[in-house]
A and B are shown apart, each in its own frame.
Chain A
Amino acid sequence: MQLKNRRPPKTPPLRRQLIAASCALLGATSVRGQDTDNFHGDGGVLDKVLDGLSIDTALAYYHEDGRVQAVEPVVDLNKTFANGQSLDLNATFDALSGASPNGALTSRSAQTFASPSGTGFTGKHTYTVAPGQYPVDPHYQDDRLAVGANWNVPFTRLTSMSFGGKLSVEHDFLSVSANASIAQDFNEKNTTLSFGVSNEYDRLSPIGGAPVPGSDYILFEKTGGKTKDGVAALLGVTQVLARNWIAALNLSVDRFKGYLNDPYKIASVLDAAGDTTGYVYESRPDQRTRKSVYLENRAAWNQFSASLSLRYMQDDWQVRSDTAELRPRWTLSDRNQYIEPTFRWYRQSAAYFYTPWLLNTDTTPEYQASDERLGAFHALTYGLKYAHKLPDQETRPGSELSLRLVYYQQTFDQPVVPASLQGLDLLPPLKAILVQVGWRF
Chain B
Amino acid sequence: MRHSLLSFLLLLAASVLAAGCSLVGVKPWQRDILARDEMQLNASPLDSAIDDHLYFSKEASSGGRSYAGGGCGCN
Contacts and interface: CB of A to CB of B under 8 A. Distances in A.
Contacts of B47: 58, 385, 404, 436, 438
Contact of B60 (A62, A307, A348, A381): A348
A187 B23 CA distance: 9
B68 A232 contact: yes
B24 interface: yes
Contacts of B53: 72, 92
A336 to B, nearest CB: 12
B10 to A, nearest CB: 13
Contacts of A305: 36, 38-39
Contacts of A47: none
B1 interface: no
Residue in B25, B30, B50, B73 whose Cβ sees the most chain A Cβ within 10 Å:
B73
B25 A204 contact: no
B61 interface: yes
Interface residues on A, range: 35 or more
Interface string B30-72: 1111111111110111110111011100111101111111111
Contacts of A74: 46, 49-50
A170 B73 contact: yes
Interface string A321-334: 10100000101000
B36 A173 contact: no
Contacts of B25: 187-188, 190-191, 239-241
B4 interface: no
A248 to B, nearest CB: 5
Contacts of A404: 47
Contacts, number: 197
A262 interface: yes
Contacts of B41: 2, 238, 246, 248, 296, 298
Nearest to B24: A241
Nearest to A187: B22
Given A76-B45, A373-B60, A173 B67 contact: no
A346 B24 contact: no
B21 interface: yes
A144 B36 CA distance: 35
A292 B63 contact: yes
Residue in B41, B69, B75 whose Cβ sees the most chain A Cβ within 10 Å:
B69
The interface residues of chain B, by DSSP majority, are classed as: loop
A401 interface: no
Residue in A293, A298, A338, A348 whose Cβ sees the most chain B Cβ within 10 Å:
A298
B67 A179 contact: yes
B18 to A, nearest CB: 8
A4 interface: yes
B61 A243 contact: no
Given A175-B72, A246-B34, A252-B64, A190 B50 contact: no
B27 interface: yes
A337 interface: no
B5 interface: no
B46 A230 contact: no
A238 B31 CA distance: 15
Contacts of A243: 26, 30-34
A126 B72 CA distance: 26
A441 B52 CA distance: 23
B68 A173 contact: no
A142 B47 CA distance: 22
A293 B61 CA distance: 12
B26 A242 contact: yes
Contacts of B69: 175, 177, 198, 200, 230, 232, 254, 256
A244 to B, nearest CB: 5
Contacts of A172: 73
Contacts of A294: 63-65
8 contacts: A3-B34, A168-B72, A188-B25, A200-B71, A234-B66, A298-B39, A300-B39, A408-B58
Given A300-B36, A305-B39, A438-B47, 12 more contacts: A57-B46, A62-B54, A92-B49, A252-B63, A292-B63, A311-B64, A313-B61, A323-B64, A373-B58, A373-B60, A397-B36, A434-B50
Interface of A: 2-5, 56-58, 60, 62, 72, 74, 76, 90, 92, 142, 144, 146, 166, 168, 170, 172-173, 175, 177, 179, 186-191, 196, 198, 200, 202, 204, 230, 232, 234, 238-244, 246, 248, 250, 252, 254, 256, 262, 290, 292-294, 296, 298, 300, 305, 307, 309, 311, 313, 315, 317, 319, 321, 323, 329, 331, 338, 346, 348, 351, 373-374, 379, 381, 385, 397-398, 404, 406, 408, 410, 430, 432, 434, 436, 438, 440
